[in-house]
Structure formats: C-alpha cells, structure tokens
Amino acid sequence: MAISVKVMNRPEPEDTSYLRAALSGMALTFRHMVSPTTVTQQYPEEQTDLSPRWRGTHRMEVHADGRPKCVACGLCPTVCPANCIRLVGGEDDQGNRYPIVYEIDEFRCIFCGMCQEVCPVEAIHVGRHFENAEYDRSRFVYDLDRLMEQDHPTTLLWDPSDPSSE
Amino acid sequence: METLQPIAGIWGLVAMSLKTLVIFSGLILVVAYTTLAERRVSAWIQDRVGPNRVGWFGLLQPVADGIKNFLKEETLPATASRAFFVLAPVLVLVPSLITFAVIPIAAPLPTPVGVVDMIIADVPIGILYVLAFSSLAVYGVVLGGWSSNNKFAFLGSLRASAQMVSYEVALGLSLIPVLMLAGNVTLTEVVWQQQQLGMWFAFPLSLAFILFVISAFAETNRLPFDMPEAESELVTGYHTEYSAMKFSAFMISEFGHMVTASALMATLFLGGWDLPGTWDDAFWHQGQLIRGFAADGSVLLASPALWKTALTFVGFACKTALFVLLFIWIRWTLPRFRYDQVMSLGWKVMLPTSLAYLMLIGGTILVLDEIGLAWGFWYGLGLTAVSGAATAVFMFYLDRGRTITGAAAQRQHMAIKSTSEPVAAGD
C-alpha cells in the first residue's frame, strides 16, 4: 500500500443498510415537506431593514430655488478612490461657482461615502437606497439632473442637524 | 328512466369523441400541473418556497413555462441527423400519453341514451397494450440521444436503452400475478376482480406491487433511476442538444410517463376507481351492468349514478396523486444509483424475485383453489399472508446491503488479492 493512501474503515456489506437508511431519509424529507421551515424573504413585498450605516445610491441636495448646492470645488472627484465622479465647474456672472457637468458612474462607484465626507457644502450624499436596476448600461451614469431628482433618504451616517459632524 | 344499455350508435360516437377530448386535454393539464407540484414539493422538502410568483400560489407557472418554451430559440445542431432529431420528441411524447387510453377513470356514467364507460378504449388486450406502448418510449429516447451526435446524449441513450430493457422484464413479470388473479388483461376486469375480492391487489400481491413500483421508477427514468439523464455526469443525457419546445416535449413526456404510471399502479394495485364498499361496483357481465353475484349465483344489477361516477373519479384521482407524490418524494430523497447497481438490481434481484414470486403466487392460487375457498375476502387474506411473508424475506434480503451497497464495501472483499496495486480508474 502506497504510503499516502488512507484506508477508510468501511462497514462490511452485512452491516450496511439500504432500505432502512432510505426509509429514514424519506421520513426526514417528509417532515420537511409537511412543515417546511422556510427562511426565504419574499423580497418585493418584504423589505430588509437597511443598516444605519448603509451607503447606497447618491443624491444631490438642492437649494430652495432648485439650484444644486454643489459649488464645484472639485474635492469629491479628487478624493474618490474609484475615480467615478466627473465634474466640470463653471462660474456665473455673480462669481458663484456651479457644476456644468456632474456625473457619477454608479457602476464604478464603490460606495465608500468619502464624497459625502469631503463635501464642504453638504451637497452630495449617499442614500439609503439600493434598487437601481436599469434596462441599459448607459443609464447607470447619473448626471446632475438625475442626482437632484433622487428623493430617497440620505444615509444615517449624516445627521442633518449636525451637517459637518462636529 | 334511463336504459342500462351501453351507449351505441351516433351517441356512442359523440360520447367517444367527448371522452377522448376531455380525458386527453385533462391529462395534459394534469401533466402541466405535475411539473408545478414537483417544483413546489421539492422546494418544501428543501425548506424553500418554490415558484409562487405567477398567479395565485404560482398556479399559472405552467402557463408561463409553456409560453417561455414556445418563444425560446430553437437550435438544431449542425451535425445532428435532422429527420430523427425532430422525430424523437414525438416518439417519446405520444406513447407516454396514449397509454392512458386503456385506464378506466371512474364508474360508468348513466345518460338518457345509454351508459357511458369512463374509459377511452376498453380494448380486450388492456395490459398488453400498456406494455407495448411503454416499450415504444425507449425508441424516442435512443433516437434522440443518437441523432443529436453528442457524446453525452449518446451515453445517456445507451444507458436508457439498457435500463429500460432490463426493467421491462421485471415489470412484465411482476404484472403476471395480477393477471393470474384477475384472469383477464383488460383493466376494467382487473378493477372488477378487486371489487369482487373485497380487497385491493396491493395486499394479496404486495411483493408484485413493490416490484412493479420499483420497475415503474426505472421505466419512467425517475430518480433514483435517472441514469439516462444523470445531469451531474452527462449534462442532461439524451436531451442535451434539445431546446425550446422540443426539450419541453421530453419534459412533458417524462411527467406524462409519471402520471400514467401512477394511474396504472392505482388501477392495478389500489383498485382503480373502486372505493371501499360494494355500492359503486359495476361491470358489464353478459350485456348487463352488474354489481355482483348473489349467493345463489344470480346477478345483482348495478345502479350507476352521476354522483357515483363523480365520487369514484375523485377516488381515482386521489390514488393517482398519491403515487405522483411518491414519485416526487422519492426523487428528492434518494441519490442516484450507480450504473452497475442499476444493472445488478435489475437482473440479479428484480428478475429472480419476480420469477420466484410468480411461482409462489401460482402455487398459492392452486392450493387455495384445491381447498375450495371461494373467491372473496378469505381467499385474498390467504394470499395476503403468503405475500406478506415473501415481502418480509425480500425486504430483509434487500436491506442487508448485498445488492445496493457502497463501492468501498464491495471492493473490500476483492481488495485483499492485490493490495499493492491501486484500483484502475474508470473500471
């Protein structure tokens, strides 16, 4: 016998059983059949409670007059580890900076939430939301209008009464 | 008042057309819902939920499956033998459903124009017709696997042919005790004799019943005998190359086989549409619909009624459903046999056992007739005792692990010869 071969100590054929083993197996499956202990979550009807730390789809805060709060400072594209934010800033005639292009690629985003942490004006947030399925790949790049339209709650990591986490 | 005559003439033609239409479309519907039952029951067994999205409790799932299969892309392998490739699903589908034609599904139904037998074709060759058509199904399986020009499909069909031919022997031999007791091959008479005996054949012929159930599992290619499919070894076996509705035809035929085999088992061994008591008994005896014989040999006329037909049909449906459930239950419990286990079970256990049991039952019938015991409850009880003893012996033998045992246990006996040589792979 080769040295690496492990010899299993199998029972003798006289000591083995097929019928009794099969019947006890069938008894087991029957018990499960009549009283299944289902743990399946009926997803669209039953929703999971999201963790307080949940970081999901982004949203852009807006001023009362409908302008985005973003001042196009460029901190979020700089800090973004996945490099998924594209920002082209502009300046209006009063000297206020605003984003001309603000796009987040939700495919590349790793939802670390650092854009929210770094934002000086509390404009960009990650939200308590994850159902963002689409029929088209291109729809996953959220532009500024789309980010402003998002109406799901922001993550509980951010407390609106203490916006700069002090 | 209605005449207790068999329906004939133009009304007979109408009744026949209606029966064919209703029974076969009903059968297709039952087969469709068996697929749902399989999926739901398997889910419960595995602590899952199963398909519950389409319709109430998932009841429209078979419809959704059907639409999906019709709309799917149909592929035709470039190297397949086209004519046979298309022919194979038909050859599998038709025999699996057509067998149902000779199974009586309820007590005769009285109508103002005559009594309608609740059976499509009460052919005099009954069980022989069933055997003939169940053997035909193997042609479709073999043809499907061969014409696909695919190694796995070919292996699957090879296995299917070997397995179905092997178990057909045991299937036929386990039927002969039934024929000996019933004295006829028509299934209506098999039901009638069970009514007369006062007990269903599952008791006086318990071992034949068990052998028939095992053979039926092998014939329908259901687990633990699904060697032709064996999805973990052969992709899906003989229907690997099939897609869309052709694949669906194979699935329908598998479930059709299951339903038909269940109905057959219910008819042969659980009294068919018979319910306990003699109130529902009915049989055409020399042109009269009789319920039984009085002590002096005169006939007692039967009184068929709509409610009796309906009730006996429910009984038949419940018995069939019981066996369908058994099929599903066993499928989701037992693992698949190895190929050599299937063969050794078929030829070294089933065949000798059914032959020995055939002789035992023949001898017992001879002895009981010599004693002069009347055909009735005590006659059945005598047979039950003999069969029960035979079943106990069979069970004891089968359970000892001599036939269906782990590979290691079998090898241990021969391994002593050459301990230094590793066992060649793939032997």
Name the residue ranges covered by the structural domains of chain A.
58-149
**What pLDDT score was predicted for residue B400?**
66
Residue A52: half-sphere exposure toward Cβ, Cα within 13 Å: 4
Size of interface A-B (CB pairs under 8 A): 76
Q: Residue A133 and residue B281: Cα distance in Å, rounded?
A: 63
- Counting beta carbons within 10 angstroms of the beta carbon of residue B164, is it exposed (0 to 12), middle (13 to 18) or buried (19 or more)? buried
Q: Which of B218-227, B229-238, B253-262 has the lowest mean pLDDT?
A: B229-238
Mean pLDDT across chain B, nearest whole number? 82
Question: Which residues contact residue B133 at a Cβ distance below 8 angstroms, ignoring those fewer than 6 apart?
Answer: B95, B98, B99
For the cut 50, the answer to whether the pLDDT of residue B426 exceeds it is no
Q: Residue A21 and residue A18: Cα distance in Å, rounded?
A: 5
- Counting beta carbons within 10 angstroms of the beta carbon of residue B94, is it exposed (0 to 12), middle (13 to 18) or buried (19 or more)? middle
**What pLDDT score was predicted for residue A79?**
92
Taking CA atoms, A1 is separated from B173, B348, B417, in Å, by 47, 33, 12
Question: Which residues contact residue B389 at a Cβ distance below 8 angstroms, ignoring those fewer than 6 apart?
Answer: none
pLDDT category at A14 given cuts 50, 70, 90 is low
Instruction: Using a pLDDT cut of 70, give the percent of chain B over it.
Output: 93
Average pLDDT for residues B372-388, to the nearest whole number? 80
pLDDT category at B339 given cuts 50, 70, 90 is confident
B1/chain A closest Cα distance in angstroms: 48
Quickly count: other Cβ atoms within 10 Å of residue B391's Cβ.
19
Question: Which residues contact residue B224 at a Cβ distance below 8 angstroms, ignoring those fewer than 6 apart?
Answer: B217, B330, B334, B335, B336, B337
User: Is-contact B304 B115, C-beta < 8 A?
Assistant: yes
Most confident residue range from A13-17, A106-110, B381-385: A106-110
H helices within B290-350, ranges in order? 306-331, 339-344
B404–A contact, CB cutoff 8 A: yes
H helices within A55-160, ranges in order? 75-79, 114-118, 144-149
With an 8 Å Cβ cutoff, the interface of chain A facing chain B consists of: 1-2, 5, 8, 10-20, 22, 25-26, 28-30, 32-34, 36-40, 42
Indicate the Cα dihedral angle B238, B240, B241, B242, nearest 10°.
80
Q: Shortest CB distance from B402 goes to which of A1, A13, A29?
A: A13
Decide: helix, strand or coil at residue A39. coil
Question: Which residues contact residue B8 at a Cβ distance below 8 angstroms, ignoring those fewer than 6 apart?
Answer: B114
Phi, psi of A101 (to 5 degrees): -125, 130
Q: Shortest CB distance from B333 goes to which of A8, A20, A26?
A: A26
The closest alpha carbon to B19, from B111, B96, B126, B90, belongs to B111
Question: Which residues contact residue B118 at a Cβ distance below 8 angstroms, ignoring those fewer than 6 apart?
Answer: B19, B104, B105, B106, B107, B108, B109, B273, B309, B313
- Asked if A13 and B420 come within 8 Å (Cβ–Cβ), the reply is no
Sheet containing A85-91: give its strands across: A85-91, A97-105, A141-142
What's the token pair of residue B201?
Answer: 């054949």
- What residue type is assigned to position B114 of the chain? G
pLDDT category at A81 given cuts 50, 70, 90 is very high
H helices within B52-150, ranges in order? 61-71, 82-98, 126-147
Q: Which of B83-87, B175-179, B236-240 has the lowest mean pLDDT?
A: B236-240
How is domain A58-149 classified at the CATH fold level? Alpha-Beta Plaits (3.30.70)
Q: Residue B140 and residue B163: Cα distance in Å, rounded?
A: 14
Average pLDDT for residues B398-424, to the nearest whole number? 52
Question: Which residues contact residue B321 at a Cβ distance below 8 angstroms, ignoring those fewer than 6 apart?
Answer: B262
- Asked if B333 and A37 come within 8 Å (Cβ–Cβ), the reply is no
This model's pTM is above 0.90: no
What's the token pair of residue B321?
Answer: 């459903």
SS (H, E, C) B161-223: HHHHHHHHHHHHHHHHHHHHHHCCCCHHHHHHHHHHHCCCCCCCCHHHHHHHHHHHHHHCCCC
Q: Residue B36 and residue B45: Cα distance in Å, rounded?
A: 14
B400–A contact, CB cutoff 8 A: yes
Note the pLDDT tens digit of each residue in B208-221: 899 999 888 888 88
Q: Residue B185 and residue B193: Cα distance in Å, rounded?
A: 11
Ramachandran area for residue B426 (φ above 0: left; ψ -120 to 50: alpha; else beta)? left
The residue with tokens 């092997």 is: B166
For the cut 80, the answer to whether the pLDDT of residue A3 exceeds it is no
The residue with tokens 């059983």 is: A17
- Asked if A1 and B420 come within 8 Å (Cβ–Cβ), the reply is yes
pLDDT category at A164 given cuts 50, 70, 90 is low
Average pLDDT for residues B34-41, to the nearest whole number? 90
Q: Residue A137 and residue A70: Cα distance in Å, rounded?
A: 26
The closest alpha carbon to B128, from B107, B158, B99, belongs to B99
Question: Which residues contact residue B363 at a Cβ distance below 8 angstroms, ignoring those fewer than 6 apart?
Answer: none
A29 contacts on B by Cβ (under 8 Å): 45, 329, 332-333
B46–A contact, CB cutoff 8 A: yes
Q: Residue B135 and residue B175: Cα distance in Å, rounded?
A: 15
Decide: helix, strand or coil at residue B108. strand
Beta bridge partners of B110: B115
User: Is-contact B384 B392, C-beta < 8 A?
Assistant: no
* Angle B16-B17-B23 from CA coordinates, rounded to 5°: 85
B251/chain A closest Cα distance in angstroms: 24
For the cut 60, the answer to whether the pLDDT of residue B127 exceeds it is yes
* Angle B364-B370-B371 from CA coordinates, rounded to 5°: 90
Q: Residue B318 and residue B369: Cα distance in Å, rounded?
A: 34
Note the pLDDT tens digit of each residue in A21-69: 788 888 888 888 888 787 888 888 888 888 878 888 888 988 888 888 8
B212/chain A closest Cα distance in angstroms: 17
Beta bridge partners of A89: A99
ipTM score of complex: 0.72
Average pLDDT for residues B311-319, to the nearest whole number? 89
Phi, psi of B263 (to 5 degrees): -65, -40
For the cut 80, the answer to whether the pLDDT of residue B375 exceeds it is no
